[in-house]
Amino acid sequence: MNMNAQTPYKPGNDTGVQRAQIGSSETWANDYSNETYVGQTKSTNLFCQIEIAGNIVTSSLTEGLEEWTGLATENNILDITRQTNPNPTQDKKDSGRVIVQNTPLLIPHEKNSIDIIQALLDGSDCNIRVQRIGHFAGEQRKPIEEYSFLNSQIQRTVDKSDMFLIIFRCAKITKIVHSYDREGQVTGSAEITYDIALNKTE
């Protein structure tokens, strides 16, 4: 007799032990379909806007952000490196060049994916903007961080079921960070722009 065998679940025989064995419906769905399901609904605080050849192709139902779309990832929005000479005795601290890694964006898979793939194939210039918004006074409307990636080129797209992965590189980046008080009033902002083509900050 197998002492480790679990008693199969039967409706009407719903003990606490069996409920623990069954686990959550999300876990079952994840295991069964090999997709990710979670047991909650989340509001979006990351938004992305994509402009191709002067036309904005993103959209949403969020008031005030109708020309933006929800962004499902916040990993590596801006990843910058400048490696310097490892020999400090030569004082060549300025020898490293600036490297801006290609940015991955995961957005809902909608009809604008056709425009984005077309931009990849024909090499159209794109302006891509990302913002993280904060929740103040009961409304989630104010930008905390803003990123602009100008003169960008789409490098790769991947269809991921109901999501769409975009990887791009840019020629000019701007980052703005805003701070607020508890009532949502701006207390200060800081900004930096780096032109990769000209290799200088503005």
CATH at residue 193: 2.30.110.20
Domain that holds residue 18: 10-40
In a domain, 4, yes or no: no
Least confident of 26-40, 71-85, 120-134: 26-40
d(CA 64, CA 150): 22
pTM above 0.85, yes or no: no
Residue 64 has a pLDDT of 86
Query: Which range in 41-45, 79-83, 155-159 is most confidently predicted, on average pLDDT?
Result: 155-159
In a domain, 3, yes or no: no
In a domain, 61, yes or no: yes
d(CA 44, CA 46): 6
In a domain, 100, yes or no: yes
In a domain, 1, yes or no: no
Select the more confidently predicted residue: 134 or 145: 145
DSSP 104-149: EEEEE--THHHHHHHHHHHT--EEEEEEEEEEETTEEEEEEEEEEE
Percent of the chain with pLDDT over 90: 49
d(CA 1, CA 104): 53
The verdict on 147 and 47 lying in the same domain is yes
